[in-house]
Structure 1
Amino acid sequence: MPVTRRPSVPNLQRGMAILEYLATHQRSATIAELSERLGYPSASVFRITQAFAELGYLSRDPVTKQFRLTNKLLLLGQPHGRDRGLVEASIPAMRQLNQATSETTQLCCLVDTGIVVLEQLLATHPFKYSAELGARCPAYSCAPGKAILASLPDDERDDLLRRIRFKRFTPTTITDRRLFREELAAICECGFAVDRAEGMAGVHCVAAAVRDRNGYPAGALTIAAPASRVPEEDFGRVGKLVIQAVRLAETNYGQ
């Protein structure tokens, strides 16, 4: 019986592997490092990285010769045509939330089993939480990740939960799959998610999912602050402010 072979495009596969490596394993790398880590010929890595650099998806440090991802990749996930981009639609809501809480406000989206920071407005306090645009963290250990997971269709959420490998980052990280499902159920009831210093010690977050016109969670708005400024007893109050901001973002996003 003849064997059906799947189509293979080596350069495309290698290019995607390079992008994924830089996104998930190391912020930057030279051609030699990429060749060694991925097992590809240096000449092939050179051609692919040069092509990505010319297209604006990679930048190269002239001193270290290391390549790194640019923010242009974030544009690929934004809708076109009549739809307003998620970032553009969320900026007024982020400003509203930032002014109401005086804390760092972020827009995040789900990528595989992790969360990526798309946009950020910093807190007005001298001591504040901040993250680089494009920074990633496991969805189960942060409020925006939990907010999006709780809002996904059941089959998609179940598939993601099967693929998540829980790891403890702090004493409060939820690593039990059953307890995490209970957490998601509670989020569905109250409308917002919280992070009790589960991803980073001393940092509390409150988030809610931003849905598109079809009700699908396209992203999440979150505030992140030192636990001393946003203690657990304030989660309910801040949660209401986050939900108000999300409603504004959803209105803009649906136009």
Structure 2
Amino acid sequence: MNNDKVVGKPAYSVPNLERGLLIIELLATKTRGLTLAEIIESLSLSKSSAFRIVSTLIYKNYLQKNETTKKITLSRKMLSLGISSMNEQSIVEVSIDVMRALRDELKESVMLGVILGSTGTILEQVSSSFPVKLFVEPGTQFSLHSSVGGKSILANLPKEESSAILKNMSFTKFTKNTIVSKVAFKEQLKEVKEMGYAVDNGEDIQGIHCLGAPVFNEHGYPVAALWITAPHGRLRHEEFYVKGEIIVKYALEISTKLGYLG
């Protein structure tokens, strides 16, 4: 007799817990959030059940609601849980000194970000030493196709994972330089993989350039991205290679702290 058990639905389940997890997973794919009605429609939930579950998750600070737009989004608490699960030691704690050193060398704002679901999320930033700088709150989400954070990580993910993400990506045009073709984007990911760093040529915000590189864990998996951001006048095209290589060096330093052997 074969005593192996097929892993499937547990004998004892908690329906409302399952529904709550479905809501969290759905919102992880929606950068701008959803209204309660949109959640109900997407998951085919009853209005009373969805209201109780969402209200509880908001009360426990896992979700947040914009009272003006009525949109419900994941909270910073969910972000912090995601960060802590990535490594026994918080990746931010490991990275912060390196980020400050990179800022001191290049003088520009330094960001650390990850992919959560189908969007990117900024974990931490170190502000530029220049009077004019771009400031972004930790927890801010960013689109993958127009950012060096998204490009750096996607270019180094296992093919199955990157393909699954690309399949559901929408290539929104933010500026005249935004890549809006999946074919062109895939070609750029190949270039990122070869160069070791990614470029945002004013693709997310007009006039803002970014350079970034992936951060790997002990298994060689791209868990995050490190990048600088600056006005195009301070981060010119002719400087991309030299500064890109510098960022690769600092990203490797964080990777080494996480156990990456190269």
> TM-score with structure 1 length normalisation?
0.82
Taking only the aligned residue pairs, the percentage that are identical comes to 33
1:1-255 mapped onto 2 (5 Å cutoff)? 10-16=15-21, 18-19=23-24, 20-21=26-27, 24=30, 26=32, 34=36, 36-39=37-40, 43-58=48-63, 69-79=74-84, 83-254=88-259
Counterpart amino acid of residue 239 in structure 2: D
Q: Which runs of 5+ in 1 are unaligned?
A: none
Counterpart amino acid of residue 180 in structure 1: F
Contact in 2 for aligned 1:85/1:253 (Cα 8 Å):
no
User: SS of the counterpart of 1:24?
Assistant: coil
Bigger relative contact order, structure 1 or 2, given CA contacts below 8 A and separation 6+?
Answer: 1
Distance across 2 between alignment mates of 1:168 and 1:206: 20
Aligned-pair distance for 1:82? Answer: 7.7
Alignment RMSD (CA, Å): 3.2
User: Please, which moves more after superposition, 96-105 or 40-49?
Assistant: 40-49
User: SS of the counterpart of 2:173?
Assistant: coil
Per-residue CA distance 1:71-112 (angstroms, 9 max, x = gap): 221232235698322111111111111111221111100123
Distance across 1 between alignment mates of 2:31 and 2:155: 27
Q: Which runs of 5+ in 2 are unaligned?
A: 1-7
C-alpha change, 1:201 and 1:154, in structure 2 (3 Å) is same
User: Please, which moves more after superposition, 97-106 or 13-22?
Assistant: 13-22
Counterpart amino acid of residue 39 in structure 2: L
Distance across 1 between alignment mates of 2:32 and 2:67: 18
Distance across 2 between alignment mates of 1:165 and 1:23: 12
Contact in 2 for aligned 1:107/1:222 (Cα 8 Å):
yes
Distance across 2 between alignment mates of 1:162 and 1:45: 29
Distance across 2 between alignment mates of 1:128 and 1:81: 30
Distance across 1 between alignment mates of 2:77 and 2:32: 18
User: SS of the counterpart of 2:145?
Assistant: helix
Distance across 2 between alignment mates of 1:164 and 1:62: 28
Aligned-pair distance for 1:52? Answer: 2.6
Counterpart amino acid of residue 30 in structure 2: T
User: SS of the counterpart of 1:78?
Assistant: helix
Contact in 2 for aligned 1:90/1:253 (Cα 8 Å):
no
Contact in 1 for aligned 2:29/2:118 (Cα 8 Å):
no
Contact in 1 for aligned 2:29/2:119 (Cα 8 Å):
no
Per-residue CA distance 1:208-228 (angstroms, 9 max, x = gap): 000000000001001111111
Aligned-pair distance for 1:150? Answer: 0.7
User: SS of the counterpart of 2:225?
Assistant: strand
Counterpart amino acid of residue 228 in structure 2: I
Aligned-pair distance for 1:168? Answer: 1.6
Distance across 1 between alignment mates of 2:52 and 2:237: 52
Contact in 1 for aligned 2:31/2:141 (Cα 8 Å):
no
> TM-score with structure 2 length normalisation?
0.80
Per-residue CA distance 1:109-137 (angstroms, 9 max, x = gap): 01233211111111122221122222212
